[in-house]
Amino acid sequence: MIREYKLEDHPFIEEICRDIWDGNDYLPNIIDSLLENKNCFPVVLEKDGRIQSVANLRLYSDKIAWSEAMRTHPNFRGLGNARMITEYQISVAKELGCEEVWLSTSADNIATKKLLQRIGEFAENIM
């Protein structure tokens, strides 16, 4: 189930981010404030009562949304969570009137490159 991030989810986010950037991930420091930003839509993917993934969709302009802060707990990678959240974000962006969804990643991030290839047809059909 994909749902809105809640403050009580914070300990799970800290756990997901524990090993990202050698324990220096910025997300645990800012995620609570995203709830206060009317242009942000932080969500979690929860299965069997366990938060497995998190991401935020930020309205960059009236027509452009930005997908950011996608994280998946190491124990749940490779299960399609990133794809489900990204497709969800694309659907939300369309409902908000956006025509494009952007993201940025490292040139050597193979997982994100594969994700973008997989969702290409979905994105083309919905946007």
H/E segment holding residue 92: helix 81-95
pLDDT at 14: 95
Distance CA(19)–CA(6), nearest Å, equals: 22
pLDDT digits (tens, 9 = 90+) for 92-101: 999 999 999 9
Residue 106 has a CB neighbour count (10 Å cut-off) of: 8
Distance in angstroms between the alpha carbons of the first and the last residue of the chain: 23
Domain that includes residue 100, residue range:
2-126
pLDDT at 117: 67
pLDDT at 124: 60
> Average pLDDT of 13-40?
94
pLDDT at 103: 80
pLDDT at 24: 93
Residue 26 has a CB neighbour count (10 Å cut-off) of: 11
Contact 51, 16 (CB under 8 A): yes
Q: Is the pLDDT of residue 122 over 70?
A: no
β-bridge partners, 57 = 41, 67
H/E segment holding residue 117: helix 110-126
Total number of domains in the chain: 1
- Provide the CATH number for the domain around residue 82: 3.40.630.30
Contact 79, 59 (CB under 8 A): no
φ, ψ of residue 66 to 5 degrees: the values are: -120, 120
| Structure confidence at residue 59 as a pLDDT band (50, 70, 90) | very high
Pairing of strands 2-4, 40-47: antiparallel
pLDDT at 35: 95
Q: Is the pLDDT of residue 89 over 80?
A: yes
Q: What is the pTM of this model?
A: 0.86
pLDDT digits (tens, 9 = 90+) for 27-46: 999 999 999 999 999 999 99
Secondary structure of residue 35 in the 3-state scheme: coil
pLDDT at 110: 74
